[in-house]
Amino acid sequence: MLGAVIFDFDGVIADDEGLHLAGFRHALLSLGMEISDEDYYQRYVGYDDRDGFTVIFRDRGVSLDEEALLGLMADKAAEFERLAAGGARLFDGVEELISALAEAGVPLAIGSGALGNEIRMLLAQSGLADRFEVIVSAEDVSAGKPDPETYDRARRLLQQGAGREAGAGIVAENCVVIEDTTAGLASARSAGMHTLAVTNTFAAASLDADLVVDSLADVSVETLRGLLA
């Protein structure tokens, strides 16, 4: 039984990592710091904003107090929202897979390190806002990925919303997480869930998942059910 499917957002549903990189660059520029494409995609993609800035500064041996961190996060979020106002491209096959899962009655959630308002804005622009029963974003957890809290929380909220009888099947071993990053896959595995990775951000060889695909256009409801077998 496929109890639920939990999607990461950036890099899985929305092709918006370039907008996040631009946001980081905008915020760091005020301090005379730069970040390359290579550094971002190899080292920092997959972190939420708080952890991303923290690791960037730690890697450079520069101290970062809470006030400065919050300022950087606010600058980055404002720039992302400005850039994303016109919408972001969805990856091929995303809309079709989400619709097929919804029509099959599979509970759906998002578990992401992005900010909730960013997720909801892009979902509304794409017409997918009503497909997801639960959204867990960066503000909803105390520890970001690779900690399992994001996916644990998403599953528990789906279970609670389904009620006692329907929620009985929404246990970790019946859930599939769709991810694109190594940190996200580690989070899902630690939460005890099955994993499907899509090579939108990392090469297949670096993705440790039950199944790795090049595109969600190649994935069906039956594909996801098969991961539980």
Three-state DSSP at 60 gives: coil
* Sheet strands side by side (includes 211-213): 134-136, 108-111, 4-7, 175-179, 194-198, 211-213
Q: Can you give the pLDDT at residue 84? A: 87
CB 214 within 8 A of CB 199: yes
pTM: 0.88
Same fold, 4-15+90-226 and 17-84: no
Per-block mean pLDDT, blocks of 10 residues, the chain (229 long): 96 92 95 94 90 95 94 94 87 97 97 94 92 96 96 96 81 97 96 98 96 98 96
Domain ranges of the chain: 4-15+90-226, 17-84
Superfamily of domain 4-15+90-226: HAD superfamily/HAD-like (3.40.50.1000)
Residues listed for the chain? 229
- Which pLDDT does position 164 carry in this prediction? 67
The pLDDT, as a whole number, for residue 163 is: 77
Strand pairing of 211-213 and 194-198? parallel
| Cα–Cα distance measured from residue 99 to residue 137, given in angstroms and rounded to the nearest whole number | 22
Do residues 215 and 93 make contact, with C-beta atoms less than 8 angstroms apart? yes
Fold classification of 17-84 is: DNA polymerase; domain 1 (1.10.150)
